[in-house]
Amino acid sequence: MMGGSGTDKSLTEYLSDELNREIRNFGVGGITSEAVAILQGGIPFYAHIEGNMLPAKGKVIITNLGIDPINKQTSSFREVEIEDIPGTLVRKYINEPPYKTIHYEFERTKSGTVKTVKDTCIFQFKDALENRSNPVIIWAGRNDKRKDNEIYKTRDNIQSMLDYLLPKDEKKKALVLSICNGSSKHESKGTIPYNEIMVVNQLLKESFGEYYIDVRSYLINDAMKDLGIEPTEEDLIEIKADCIPKSLRSDEVHLNDNGNKAVAKYLAEIIQKRGY
């Protein structure tokens, strides 16, 4: 949704046009909120370095001790720091479905001296370190499990992202977007998937207060009017089912350019009002 699946321009590109400022897109499709939080910095990326040693130069094999935050839908190369040593982390994987990770490799940016490390190390992603003080839009949770207590993991992962932002003692400049349900074929009002998503969104609303932005409801109820688009018969069926209109979607779930444009206009107004 954030990365721009099925569109010519991503949400962040439209938002950049609306605000006339740089918007960096770190959206990755197909990953959970936990993986998003690892890439963002809210949850540490724990790993084991082969031989408990960083060589003076060259590559060393890294074993990830948690979930994989990197998948086939994004670059396998990430700039990172380990104990203040900058370098590149590369994911090595089997290049066929399900693209399973073999291991990671780390290589220093510059050669140095051999360094002994602990069994468990924390790698910090450069993007996370460089953007802690910037306003952030968090759109995560669609790929999470939603059974029973699983919903609290989504909330906690998002909370970790907010906690990571700087400055710690002042009000964060952040927006937490609601999870969108898919088309009426599978996730119309009253279905189990729909009800589960509504429960999660209610939890996010209660947990994050004014940070929470209900883009799902906006897309269903107001987006087409704001864009001046006349709803089709199919759109009206979707709206009646409390689903995003087909005219704003590229498939059963993801937004098309009109959908991205609508969300960008909506968020731009909120960002400007809040002085972000």
Give per-residue pLDDT as tens, 186-223: 999 999 999 999 999 999 999 999 999 999 999 999 99
Q: Assess whether 210 and 136 both reside in one domain.
A: yes
pLDDT at 36: 98
Give per-residue pLDDT as tens, 150-187: 999 999 999 999 999 998 778 899 999 999 999 999 99
Give per-residue pLDDT as tens, 51-75: 999 999 999 999 999 999 999 999 9
Let me know if residue 236 belongs to a domain: yes
Q: Assess whether 141 and 254 both reside in one domain.
A: yes
Average pLDDT over residues 245-274: 97
Q: Assess whether 269 and 200 both reside in one domain.
A: yes
pLDDT at 170: 81
Type of residue numbered 217: S
Q: Are 141 and 154 in contact (CB under 8 A)?
A: yes
Domain that holds residue 206: 11-26+131-274
Q: Assess whether 161 and 260 both reside in one domain.
A: yes
Which of 208, 211, 209, 205 is CA-nearest to residue 276? 211
pLDDT at 4: 86
pLDDT at 8: 86
Q: Assess whether 111 and 135 both reside in one domain.
A: no
| Residue 5 in this model has a pLDDT that exceeds 90 | no
Q: Assess whether 100 and 211 both reside in one domain.
A: no
Q: Are 10 and 2 in contact (CB under 8 A)?
A: yes
Q: How many CB atoms lie within 10 A of CB 223?
A: 24
Type of residue numbered 242: D
d(CA 222, CA 201): 19
* Number of structural domains the chain divides into: 2
Q: Assess whether 107 and 219 both reside in one domain.
A: no
